[in-house]
Amino acid sequence: MIETRVTQLTSGAHVFHGYALDIAEELLKEIDLVVSVSPLRSVVTPSGKSMSVKMTNCGTRGWVSDRRGYRYEEKDPVTAKKWPVMPPGFVAIAKRSGAVAGYPDYEPNVCLINRYEPGNCMGLHQDKDERDFSQPIVSVSLGLSISFKIGGLSRQGSTTRIDLVHGDVLVFGGPARLAYHGVGKLREGEHPLTGKSRFNLTFRVS
Ligand code: SIN
Ligand code: FE2
C-alpha cells in the first residue's frame, strides 16, 4: 500500500494527501480522451444560473443539470450518445481510494469531471442525486490547488477548510456522505501539468 498522510476533516471525511500523485499524468491523459468524446460544457442550475465550472462525465450514467433539475442521465445530452466508458486509470484510483478509506468493495459507476479556471467556484451543496448513499464519494484533485470546505448536514453549521492540492484524494462517506461542501474561487496560477486550471474527478455510486 502507498504510504500517505491522512487528514480527518469531519467524521467520515478524510483527505489522503498525494494519494493520486503516481497516477496523475495518466488521469490527465484519460480526461483528454473523455473530453474528446463528451466535451466539457457549461450548465445552468434549475433556477437558471450558469455554473462557472465546466463539466462532463464518464461511466454508465452522467450528472446533468438544466432548467428541469439535477439528475443522472444514461446518455450525454450534448452528443445524444452514451457517456464514455470510465478509463482504466479512473477505475484504479477510485477502487484504491475506496479501499484505503475502508470501503474495500467500492465500485463507482459514475465520474463527474469538473474543470475550474481562475475565478470559478462551487457554493456549498450536498451530493444527493444518487440512488445509494451507503457508498462514499471519492474526489480527486488535479492541477491548481483550491480551498475546500465541508460542514455537516445543514447548510448553516460550521465548516472545516483545507487546501486541496494536485494529487490529493478526498473520501467522504458514512456520516459525511450528505455533508454540505464546496470550494472557494480558484486563484490565478500556472500548474506544470494543467496550466491555468484545476480538474476534479468525483466518483459516485449512482
Ligand atoms: C463538487 O463538490 O462537486 C466539487 C468539489 C471539488 O471541486 O473539489
Ligand atoms: Fe459535490
Q: How many CB atoms lie within 10 A of CB 23?
A: 17
Class of residue 94 by CB neighbours under 10 A (exposed 0-12, middle 13-18, buried 19+) = buried
pLDDT score, position 86: 98
Class of residue 64 by CB neighbours under 10 A (exposed 0-12, middle 13-18, buried 19+) = buried
List the residue whose alpha carbon is closest to atom 8 of ligand 1: 200
Gap between the Cα atoms of 45 and 28, Å rounded = 27
Closest of 139, 138, 123 to residue 184, by C-alpha = 123
Per residue in 147-169, pLDDT (tens digit) is 999 999 999 999 999 999 999 99
pLDDT score, position 3: 75
Question: Low-confidence residues of the chain, pLDDT below 70?
Answer: 1-2
Gap between the Cα atoms of 64 and 61, Å rounded = 10
Grid coordinates belonging to 33: 480522451
List the residue whose alpha carbon is closest to atom 2 of ligand 1: 182
pLDDT score, position 20: 98
- Residue at 37: amino acid letter: V
- Taking a 5 Å cut-off on Cβ, the residues next to ion ligand 2 are 127
Number of alpha carbons in the 13 Å side-chain half-sphere of residue 119: 2
User: Ligand 2 centroid to 181 CA: how many Å?
Assistant: 6
Per residue in 44-54, pLDDT (tens digit) is 999 999 999 99
- Residue at 177: amino acid letter: R
Closest of 46, 68, 70, 67 to residue 57, by C-alpha = 70
